[in-house]
């Protein structure tokens, strides 16, 4: 599996953006250990371990994992890792029940039917189904985060409901970068569009709400966007938000 890691250094340690072509995750690393933000599809668990190895860390150094949201492409790898390793998993208070799979707020086969004929979508499905895209396992003891400043990298949660009802972005790297999850992405296997954009309504619980809450990302004045899908994007995140909103 192709694994690309972009790293930056700040006062709070290192921020590593890991991209696989289908989905991304982020590792915050300090002398106290690592904080994971998301963990890919279930089939990405070995790739998460590989990404830790490549930055000189191991799974025993995971102090906690944070979820941007509880879709299978962000939570699945963490479910698998937790079968072997112990660490806490935190999500926004409004996302915890989703992470525990008390309900599932994700596009199913019927939801995808209108676009499933498109070659890009077919190719995407042929990639993600072997990665465990249909897996419905959750994390029974996922808990809501309160303060996160004690964790490696000192992430700060930015509530960004819309993509899911408890979606959260995170300000990292001492305010330099935003981990935007799926509230704001820069590309996706199902589209040829590059650059900041919102995921389509099929994949988004409440597209209007998502568009509104992007302001919470814009006001951070961070200079780097680390999205859930697509490439790392450099520039003022306010410009990224404006571009995404203008392309809706
Ligand atoms: Zn996603």
Distance CA 35, CA 29 (A): 7
pLDDT band at 31 (very low <50, low <70, confident <90, very high): very high
Give the count of alpha carbons within 13 A of 59, CB side only.
17
Distance CA 36, CA 90 (A): 10
CA-based end-to-end distance of the chain: 32
| Residue reference for tokens 């371990």 | 49
Other CB atoms within 10 Å distance of the CB of residue 128: 18
Cα 68 to averaged position of ligand 1 atoms, centre (Å) = 9
Q: What is the pLDDT of residue 105?
A: 87
Task: Compute the mean pLDDT over every residue in the chain, rounded to the nearest whole number.
Answer: 95
Q: What is the pLDDT of residue 247?
A: 86
- 39 pLDDT above the threshold of 90: yes
Cα 183 to averaged position of ligand 1 atoms, centre (Å) = 9
Cα 132 to averaged position of ligand 1 atoms, centre (Å) = 13
Cα separation values, 157 from 130, 146, 164, 170, 232, Å: 32, 9, 15, 5, 19
Strand 24-30 with 224-227, pairing = unpaired
Long-range contacts of residues 13-21, Cβ cutoff 8 Å, at least 24 apart: 13/152, 13/153, 14/55, 15/153, 15/172, 15/173, 15/177, 15/226, 16/51, 16/55, 17/226, 17/232, 18/47, 18/48, 18/51, 19/231, 19/232, 20/44, 20/47, 21/127, 21/189
Cα 170 to averaged position of ligand 1 atoms, centre (Å) = 15
Neighbouring residues of the ion ligand 1, judged by CB less than 5 Å: 73, 182, 228
Q: Which domains does the chain have, with CATH numbers?
A: 4-246 (3.60.15.10)
- Degrees (nearest 5) of the Cα angle 53, 10, 163? 75
Cα 72 to averaged position of ligand 1 atoms, centre (Å) = 8
Cα 74 to averaged position of ligand 1 atoms, centre (Å) = 6
Distance CA 200, CA 225 (A): 19
Rounded to an integer, the average pLDDT of 180-188 is 97
pLDDT in tens, 42-55: 999 999 999 999 99
pLDDT in tens, 143-161: 999 889 999 999 999 999 9
Q: What is the pLDDT of residue 217?
A: 98
pLDDT in tens, 90-146: 999 999 999 999 999 888 877 888 888 899 999 999 999 999 999 999 999 999 998
């Amino acid at each position: 599996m192709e694994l690309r890691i972009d790293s930056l250094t700040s006062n709070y340690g290192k921020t590593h953006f890991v991209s696989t072509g289908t989905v991304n995750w982020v590792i915050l690393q300090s002398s106290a250990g690592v904080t994971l933000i998301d963990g890919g599809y279930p089939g990405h668990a070995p790739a998460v371990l590989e990404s830790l190895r490549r930055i000189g860390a191991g799974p025993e150094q995971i102090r906690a994992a944070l979820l941007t949201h509880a879709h299978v492409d962000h939570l699945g790898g963490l479910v698998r890792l937790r079968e072997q390793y112990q660490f806490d998993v935190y999500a926004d208070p409004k996302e915890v029940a989703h992470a525990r799979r008390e309900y599932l707020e994700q596009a199913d086969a019927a939801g995808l039917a209108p676009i499933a004929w498109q070659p890009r979508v077919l190719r995407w499905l042929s990639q993600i189904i072997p990665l465990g895209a249909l897996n419905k396992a959750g994390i029974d003891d996922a808990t809501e985060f309160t303060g996160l400043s004690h964790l490696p990298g000192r992430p700060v949660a930015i509530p960004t409901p819309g993509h899911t009802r408890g979606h959260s972005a995170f300000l990292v790297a001492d305010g330099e970068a935003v981990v935007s999850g799926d509230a704001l992405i820069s590309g996706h296997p199902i589209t040829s569009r590059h650059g900041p954009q919102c995921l389509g309504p099929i994949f988004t619980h409440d597209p209007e709400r998502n568009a509104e809450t992007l302001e919470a990302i814009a006001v951070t004045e961070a200079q780097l966007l680390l999205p859930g899908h697509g490439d790392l994007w450099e520039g003022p995140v306010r410009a990224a938000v404006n571009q995404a909103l203008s392309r809706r």
